Structure 1
Amino acid sequence: MSKTAANTPEGTSLHAPLARLLRPLVRLCIGRGITFPALTTLLRELYVNVAEYDFALSGKEQTDSRVSLLTGIHRKEVSRLRGAGAPVSVVPAVVSRTSRIVARWLADPRFTDAAGHPLALPRLAEGEAPSFEGLVSSITRDLRPRAVLDEWLDRGLARLDAEDRVVLAEAAYVPKGGGEPQLYYFGRNLHDHIAASVANVMGETPRFLERAVHYDGLSRELAERLERRAKEIAMEALQQANREAHAACETDPGGTHRWNFGLYVYGEDAPPAPGADA
């Protein structure tokens, strides 16, 4: 019997990092009512799909036997699951529309001040002056700007100031409440972060930038102060990247590639493990 990857030193070395990586996902699954049998069903489908498409040999047909060998899943089960296609993450319409409008408001010089901050916009267009109506119309003609504004006011994405101008409430589109928009970005952003890390681990040299600054053994006060400052630095970097990407897209012919620049800030109370050195 041949060794499985899990029994090789290389496979065994993944156990600890995978356990740490999966722990918060397991917490989410339990919290959302996804049982272990349901998760194993999903993993079984993914194993077959990844083996079928990502590990096919050039010029050779991918057989049930080879997929079974790669995954450890019985050949009859492989035959049943093959061809199902990878799970597709369709961008919810509200996410696509809202994120594009916010991105333009933050990046387009017509809708920002000299310092790059989003302008407070009059509701309706008056000549060539920037307006919320003009902003929305520059992204979509399928919805009335008033309908978009009502939705944003209801969700707290925007507010009206004393002069009845529309003010962006946050310098980014941040879905809340665990609904479809937030879960879409949850899957998209974690996928891209993990995919970048996996590409670096499996490649001979790191291709993607994937770095972190971390300090342990801090007081709560310092950790919270560093968290606040890190958020400020991160937002500055995201807004600068958005402005440059928006400007570059104006002259780009378009294609099939996509690009994602993401940042995260995390902190927790992590007492030393029992028996660890002080």
Structure 2
Amino acid sequence: MSETPDPAPSPDGAALHGPVARLLRPLVRLLVQRGITFPALTNLLRELYVNVAEYDFALPGKEQTDSRVSLLTGIHRKEVRRLRGAGAPVSPVPATVSRTSRIVARWLAAPDFTDGGGRPLPLPRTAEGGAPSFETLVAGVTKDVRPRAVLDEWLDRGMAVLDPEGRVQLLESAYLPRGGGEPQLYYFGRNLHDHLAAAVENVAGPSPRFFERAVHYDGLSEALAGRLEERARAIAMDALKQANAEAHAACADDPGGRHRWNFGIYIFREEVEAKPAAAQEVKPAAAPEPEAERGRAP
């Protein structure tokens, strides 16, 4: 499958090489781990390039042609003709993911199911007169699955337990799929897409549109890095709970529409490989780096 020769990259394009290589490295590690070879990734990228050029770079009032898509992507016209109209790969929401996340969100936000501090209440399996219970919690989200089936699933997965009084207690304050299965991979694609889309919009637009910032410190001990990670988890969880509660309350009066909203937080730490002595910057002994310079605020 031949492709048109690559033109010399523009200065803007060349400036992206380093950042793109850095952001793709963890992804390539996962692809190699999961057995996705370079040729397989190339086929996927070829489809995506054609799809993006066809729909995102169409000129107003003009039909997008194979020649223009080929010019934009560097992919031969024969390949463009074959791939056009195929549609970009999508990641549909697994039914279990959608249902579980909505039930957990309601348990963490609705006043009937939380205490004064916003913590999820232990719920009786059933209750008289429509009083708060696990049954009414699930029924408020879906009528397609019996609450008992949801409870059995959650007990089996360790998301909930029964206390000595037989009430259902939520063990996790968020839906955290694990094991690399379909639910976790769905959120992997969704969350990274939205974070990257926000960052791209900020770089490509005339001014930053989305809030996308981080606090980062280098040169830390393992103990301090661990303490900062633990504290950041607590701060992040509080922020997510507050955002969820406010969004849940606001949805009650919203007429509905075609928009979606995502508020995400990430935390990361790692041990950085030491640079060779010859590559390290030599600093005057009389002028050590100020301690405050190790950090970077938002």
Cα shift readout 1:62-112 (whole Å, capped 9, x = no counterpart): 000000000000010000000001112210000000000000000000000
Do structure 1's residue 39 and structure 2's residue 41 form an aligned pair? yes
Q: Find the aligned partners of 1:271 and 1:144 in 2 and give their Cα distance.
A: 52
Amino acid at match of 2:190: R
Q: Higher Cα Rg: structure 1 or 2?
A: 2
Q: Find the aligned partners of 1:223 and 1:151 in 2 and give their Cα distance.
A: 36
Cα shift readout 1:213-261 (whole Å, capped 9, x = no counterpart): 0000000000000000000000000000000000000000000000000
Do structure 1's residue 173 and structure 2's residue 175 form an aligned pair? yes
- Secondary structure of the structure 2 residue equivalent to 1:159: strand
- What TM-score do the two structures reach when normalised by structure 2? 0.91
Amino acid at match of 2:205: G
Which aligned pairs between 1:164-243 and structure 2 lie closer than 5 A?
A: 164-243=166-245
Amino acid at match of 1:276: Q
Amino acid at match of 2:164: A
- Structure-2 change in CA distance of 1:81 and 1:226 (3 Å): same
CA contact (8 A) 2:122 2:168 kept: yes
CA contact (8 A) 1:5 1:11 kept: no
1:8 CA displacement: 1.3
Amino acid at match of 1:143: V
1:176 CA displacement: 0.5
In structure 2, stretches of 5+ residues that fail to align are 283-298
Amino acid at match of 2:280: A
Amino acid at match of 2:181: G
The worse-fitting range, judged by mean Cα deviation, of 103-112 and 123-132 is 123-132
- Secondary structure of the structure 1 residue equivalent to 2:212: coil
- Secondary structure of the structure 1 residue equivalent to 2:169: strand
Q: Find the aligned partners of 1:3 and 1:40 in 2 and give their Cα distance.
A: 16
Cα shift readout 1:162-193 (whole Å, capped 9, x = no counterpart): 11110001100010110000000000000000
Q: Find the aligned partners of 2:55 and 2:130 in 1 and give their Cα distance.
A: 51
Cα shift readout 1:120-173 (whole Å, capped 9, x = no counterpart): 000112224210001000001111100000000111111111111100011000
CA contact (8 A) 2:50 2:84 kept: yes
Which aligned pairs between 1:107-126 and structure 2 lie closer than 5 A?
A: 107-126=109-128
Which aligned pairs between 1:263-274 and structure 2 lie closer than 5 A?
A: 263-274=265-276
Q: Give the structure, 1 or 2, with the largest relative contact order (CA under 8 Å, sep 6 or more).
A: 2
Match of 2:286 in 1: none
Kindly tell me the number of residue pairs found equivalent between the two proteins: 277
1:5 CA displacement: 7.0
- Secondary structure of the structure 2 residue equivalent to 1:69: helix
- Structure-2 change in CA distance of 1:3 and 1:180 (3 Å): closer
- Secondary structure of the structure 2 residue equivalent to 1:167: strand
The sequence identity of aligned pairs, in percent, is: 73
- Secondary structure of the structure 2 residue equivalent to 1:233: helix
Of 30, 50, 53, the residue aligned with 1:51 is 53
Match of 1:276 in 2: 280
- What TM-score do the two structures reach when normalised by structure 1? 0.97
Amino acid at match of 1:52: E
Superposition CA RMSD, Å: 1.4
1:59 CA displacement: 0.4
1:276 CA displacement: 2.5
Match of 1:88 in 2: 90
The worse-fitting range, judged by mean Cα deviation, of 2-11 and 95-104 is 2-11
CA contact (8 A) 1:227 1:267 kept: yes
Q: Find the aligned partners of 2:273 and 2:110 in 1 and give their Cα distance.
A: 46
In structure 1, stretches of 5+ residues that fail to align are none
Amino acid at match of 1:277: E
Q: Find the aligned partners of 1:97 and 1:277 in 2 and give their Cα distance.
A: 53
Match of 2:293 in 1: none
1:271 CA displacement: 3.0
Q: Find the aligned partners of 1:174 and 1:4 in 2 and give their Cα distance.
A: 43
Of 115, 137, 150, the residue aligned with 2:139 is 137
